[in-house]
């Protein structure tokens, strides 16, 4: 009988071989033999008794959600074992497996109707027409689609031209001098009415947490934990982010120089390089990309400020095209970004392709910001596997390449025909000509050869080339190409083994680790950043309020009247200008006194805090109470020098955007508080002998993003501090904690 537990090893405790002090050797050997055998048996037992299934031995990134019942989700080498295990577990299950009841009634009717809709839409696509179904009930939509098909059939006898030039349903959607209407959703159209699904939506929805924001469904973060993996990929490999939600517009103007000067606030001949920096419309609204080619200017900005910038550019240009749904982009970070991209982008020979191939063989992180390539490529799906581009001889060193590209007489890395194709709606539409469906692609592969890596060359040559724009931003490489070519590129890019994927949050992490602020979170002095800050505050407050009473933290004892759930710029502005207005207030707590109009008289700091708390009721939440320090503004100059005067109605507080790094151990989290360091305590804080909570009147700012920075191996943060702070040290304290740490700050670039 085997032992009850697989892990128990049977042994003979009472040794029979030793009798009366005499050892019987044969018996002793026999019992040891028994013990060795039972130990080996036990090893086998425990091995097979374990309930781990084969897919659990895979690394987490290779595991698939449906792997427990679908062997096709498991790598081929493990499938036999998985099948065996599946049969065993089925045999072990008690009772017959319950079969799913069939679909009946209303559900069945709805399924049938949606099938009908899809069939009609497919029929229209075969006729190369765009479905023009409006919103309404399903019956109405079916009716309108059938009518559309009927009309086309009638007209087909005459010479009516089809709208689409491919079976995929891709076409250029552009708004001329007005905002473009979003592309109609083919499936689940109703869900896409308010928030547009990007072409990669289905791919992302399976793997990511999506958020609905700024009119798009945005991949926020992968379902898998990836803080360390993202850091590693950005340091040694490559990480790809889909940024189709970013808005692009193309403006045509007879005076490009004036338009660019207005947008970038920088006078001079537009250079070959792409501009990455502040966009003025007419005040600073965000950081974005501006690229000019001949009489066109391409501008790419965050979707939150798209309409604002669009309206400004419209006033200053002849024609403007809203290319939000015509030009798509993705961003790649990490030293291998270009190397990975060049494995799937098969560039056509052109004047700039040599430079592209040369530079893509290097660690591309130190390439100067603004370096731009405009190239032509073929559909990346024509090649089954990614492959390294051929080595171009001779290969210059990276310093030589950078120097040669930065010199003023350098040959351009912009191919003029492809640049024109990128900026014109008609030519973009031409690039979709005969865009292959997956079915057509596999047909082509069948026809070529089952072993070939790519489809026949004459087929590739017969199809139009696709313009692709690649530029270096501060932390990433940004790729822009026609909207419906992003999906084929993305599908092939993520198959390259070195490429990791990330969402908006990972992009934020990469920026943060390199000390770059992220729009809109780290820009609370802009309208969008201000409202984002407000949203975050409300969310974390409501999370806290849902906790049971015993789990809720008593923030009041740590934070006094400052809002503990976010960056309380309201309080900061009032306390800084309030102490200036009432310079002689006392530190202690006194009884509150009121004047004849029942307004609080301010005699102590506590009176000031209470007065600020009272004034919250009349706060306009949409009014931005801080602004970025501008050295040309006379009030800001006075403020920085400390020679300013304030009226009872306070102006916005001038702030610096800064990055912080802790000097000793400790942590910085989001919305940590930043204080001035008392001169006398600087050394104590530096030695770590003091970690006391500083006085509330020393408050000078807040951290907008703070965490553990894996790149530096230390805690860092990005935040804003009042512009009159001169000392290079500050104190940082997390919300709801007493420990305070010394940090060093510098302005962000």
Partner 1 sequence: MAKTTPKRHIRHSPNTGLVLKVQQETEFLVKSSTPFIAAVKRISKKLEKFDKSNVSHKKYQRGEYLKVKYICVKGMGRAIEKTISIGLMFKNDMNYHVEITTGGTLVLDEFRPQDSDEENDDEITFQKRMVSYVEVRIFLKRA
Q: Which residue has the tokens 């934070």?
A: 559
Q: Considering the complex, state which of residue 370 and residue 502 has its C-beta at the smaller distance from partner 1.
A: 370
Kindly tell me which of 38 and 339 has the beta carbon lying closer to partner 1. Answer: 339
The residue (of 215 and 335) whose beta carbon lies closer to partner 1 is 335
Nearer to partner 1, 183 or 334 (CB): 334
660/683 Cα distance (integer angstroms)? 18
Dist CA 191 CA 187 (whole Å): 9
For 174, the token pair is 């552009």
Which of residues 361 and 711 has its CB atom nearest to partner 1 in the complex? Answer: 361
Return the bridge partners of 702, or none.
Answer: 673, 720
Q: Which is nearer to partner 1, 275 or 483 (CB)?
A: 275
Q: Rounded CA gap, 565 and 735, in Å?
A: 8
- Written as six digits, the tokens of 623 are 């009014």
- Look up residue 679 and give its DSSP letter: G
**The two structure tokens encoding residue 412:** 């351009």
Q: How far is the CB of 267 from partner 1 (least distance, A)?
A: 10
Write down the least CB distance from residue 631 to partner 1, Å.
8
Q: How far is the CB of 402 from partner 1 (least distance, A)?
A: 6
Residue 81 C-alpha from the chain's centroid: 38
Beta pairing partners, 323: none
Compare residues 401 and 605 and give the one whose CB is closer to partner 1: 401
| Measured distance CA(484)–CA(428) in Å, rounded | 10
CB nearer to partner 1: give 423 or 628. Answer: 628
HEC profile for 295-350? CEEEEEECHHHHHHHHHHHHHCCCEEEECCCCEEEEEEECCCHHHHHHHHCCECCC
- CA–CA gap between residue 116 and residue 518 (Å, rounded): 45
- Three-class SS of residue 258? helix
Determine the Cα–Cα distance for residues 552 and 562; give it in Å rounded to an integer: 17
Quote the CA–CA distance of 483 and 469 in Å, as a whole number: 12
Nearer to partner 1, 276 or 436 (CB): 276
> Residue numbers of the site for partner 1 (CB under 8 A)?
236, 265-266, 268, 271, 273, 335-336, 339, 361-363, 366, 368, 370, 397-400, 402-403, 406, 408
* Structure tokens given for 555: 């923030």
HSE-CB of 303 using CA atoms within 13 angstroms: 19
Residue 563 tokens read as: 């809002």
To partner 1, the closest distance from the beta carbon of 335 in angstroms equals 7
> Which string of b and e fits 718-740 if b means at least 16 CB within 10 Å?
bbbbbbbbeeeebbbbbbebeeb
d(CA 376, CA 345): 9
Measured distance CA(259)–CA(254) in Å, rounded? 9
CB of residue 175 to partner 1, shortest distance in Å: 32
- The nearest distance, CB 272 to partner 1, in angstroms, is 9
In a 13 Å sphere around the CA of 177, the CA atoms on its Cβ side amount to 6
- Closest separation in Å from C-beta 227 to partner 1: 20
Provide the minimum distance between the beta carbon of 251 and partner 1 in the complex, in angstroms, as a whole number: 21
Residue 633: CB minimum distance to partner 1, A: 13
> In this complex, which beta carbon is closest to partner 1, that of residue 153 or of residue 749?
749
Rounded to the nearest angstrom, the gap between the alpha carbon of residue 708 and the centroid of all alpha carbons in its chain is: 18
Classify the C-alpha dihedral 333-334-335-336 as positive or negative. negative
DSSP code of residue 665: S
Query: Nearer to partner 1 by C-beta: 3 or 399?
Result: 399
Shortest CB 366 distance to partner 1, Å:
5
Minimum gap (Å) between residue 495 Cβ and partner 1: 18
Q: Cβ closer to partner 1: 235 or 600?
A: 235
The residues near 304 (Cβ < 8 Å, ≥ 6 apart) are 214, 286, 519, 520, 528, 532
Nearer to partner 1, 269 or 554 (CB): 269
DSSP code for 196 = B
Q: Considering the complex, what minimum distance in angstroms separates the CB of residue 273 from partner 1?
A: 6
The residue written with tokens 């610096």 in the block is 656
- Measured from the CB atom, the residue of 397 and 449 that comes closer to partner 1 is 397
Specify whether the CB–CB gap between 668 and 707 falls below 8 A.
yes
Quote the DSSP letter at residue 52. -
CB of 632 to partner 1, least distance (A): 11
């Amino acid at each position: 009988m085997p032992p009850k537990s697989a892990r128990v090893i049977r042994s003979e405790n009472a040794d029979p071989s030793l009798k009366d002090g005499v050892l019987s050797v044969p018996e002793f050997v026999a019992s040891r033999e028994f013990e060795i055998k039972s130990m080996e048996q036990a090893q086998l037992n425990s091995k097979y008794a374990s309930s781990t299934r084969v897919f659990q031995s895979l690394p987490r990134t290779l595991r698939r959600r449906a792997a427990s019942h679908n062997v096709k989700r498991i790598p081929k080498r493990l499938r036999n074992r998985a099948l065996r295990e599946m049969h065993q577990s089925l045999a072990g299950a008690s009772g017959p497996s319950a079969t799913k009841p069939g679909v009946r009634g209303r559900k069945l009717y709805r399924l049938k109707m949606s099938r009908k809709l899809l069939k009609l839409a497919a029929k229209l696509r075969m006729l190369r027409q765009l479905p023009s179904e409006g919103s309404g009930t399903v019956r109405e939509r079916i009716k309108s689609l059938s009518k559309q098909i009927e009309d086309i059939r009638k007209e087909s006898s005459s010479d009516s031209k089809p709208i689409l030039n491919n079976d995929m349903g891709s076409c250029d959607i552009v708004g001329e001098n007005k905002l473009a209407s979003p592309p109609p959703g083919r499936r689940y159209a109703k869900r896409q009415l308010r928030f547009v699904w990007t072409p990669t939506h289905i791919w992302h929805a399976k793997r990511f947490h999506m958020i609905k924001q700024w009119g798009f469904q945005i991949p926020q973060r992968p379902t898998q934990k990836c803080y360390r993996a993202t850091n590693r990929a950005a340091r040694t490999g490559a990480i790809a982010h889909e940024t189709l939600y970013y808005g692009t517009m193309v403006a045509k103007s007879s005076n490009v120089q004036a338009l660019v000067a207005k947008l970038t606030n920088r006078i001079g001949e537009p250079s070959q390089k792409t501009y990455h920096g502040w966009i003025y419309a007419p005040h600073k609204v965000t950081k974005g990309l501006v690229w000019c080619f001949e009489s066109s200017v391409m501008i790419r900005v965050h979707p939150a400020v798209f309409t604002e910038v669009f309206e400004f550019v419209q006033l200053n240009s002849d024609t403007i095209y809203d290319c939000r749904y015509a030009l798509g982009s993705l961003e790649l970070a990490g030293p291998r970004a270009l190397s990975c991209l060049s494995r799937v982008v098969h560039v056509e020979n052109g004047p700039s392709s040599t430079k592209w191939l040369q530079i893509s063989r290097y660690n591309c992180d130190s390439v100067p910001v603004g370096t731009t390539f405009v190239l032509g490529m073929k559909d990346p799906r024509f090649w089954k596997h990614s492959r390294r581009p051929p080595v171009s001889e001779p290969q210059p060193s990276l310093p030589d390449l950078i120097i040669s590209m930065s010199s003023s007489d350098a040959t351009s890395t912009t191919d003029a025909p492809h640049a024109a194709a990128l900026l014109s709606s008609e030519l973009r539409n031409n690039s979709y000509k005969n865009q292959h469906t997956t079915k057509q692609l596999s047909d082509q592969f069948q026809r070529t050869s089952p072993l070939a890596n790519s489809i026949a060359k004459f087929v590739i040559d017969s199809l139009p080339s696709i313009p692709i724009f690649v530029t270096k931003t501060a932390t990433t490489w940004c790729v822009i190409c026609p909207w419906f070519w992003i999906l084929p590129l993305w599908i092939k890019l993520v198959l390259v083994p070195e490429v990791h994927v990330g969402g908006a949050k990972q992009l934020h992490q990469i920026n943060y680790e390199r000390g770059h602020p992220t729009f809109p979170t780290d820009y609370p002095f802009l309208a969008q950043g201000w409202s984002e800050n407000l949203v975050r505050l409300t969310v974390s407050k409501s999370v806290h309020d849902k906790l049971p009473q015993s789990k809720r933290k008593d923030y009041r004892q740590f934070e006094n009247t400052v809002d503990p759930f976010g960056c309380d710029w309201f309080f900061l502005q009032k306390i800084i200008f309030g102490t200036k207005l009432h310079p002689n207030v006392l530190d202690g707590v006194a009884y509150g006194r009121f004047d004849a109009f029942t307004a609080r008289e301010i005699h102590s700091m506590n009176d000031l805090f209470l007065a600020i708390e009272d004034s919250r009721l009349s706060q306009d939440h949409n009014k931005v109470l801080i602004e970025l320090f501008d050295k040309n503004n006379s009030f800001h100059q006075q403020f920085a020098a400390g020679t300013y005067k304030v009226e009872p109605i306070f102006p916005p507080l001038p702030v610096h955007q800064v990055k912080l790094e802790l000097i000793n151990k400790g942590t910085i989290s989001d919305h940590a508080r930043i204080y001035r360091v008392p001169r006398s305590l600087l050394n104590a804080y530096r030695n770590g002998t003091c970690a006391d909570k500083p006085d509330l009147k020393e408050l000078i700012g807040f951290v907008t993003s703070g965490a553990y920075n894996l790149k530096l191996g230390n805690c860092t943060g990005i935040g804003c501090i009042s512009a009159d702070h001169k000392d290079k040290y500050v104190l940082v304290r997390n919300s709801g904690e007493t420990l305070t740490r010394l940090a060093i700050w510098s302005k962000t670039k």
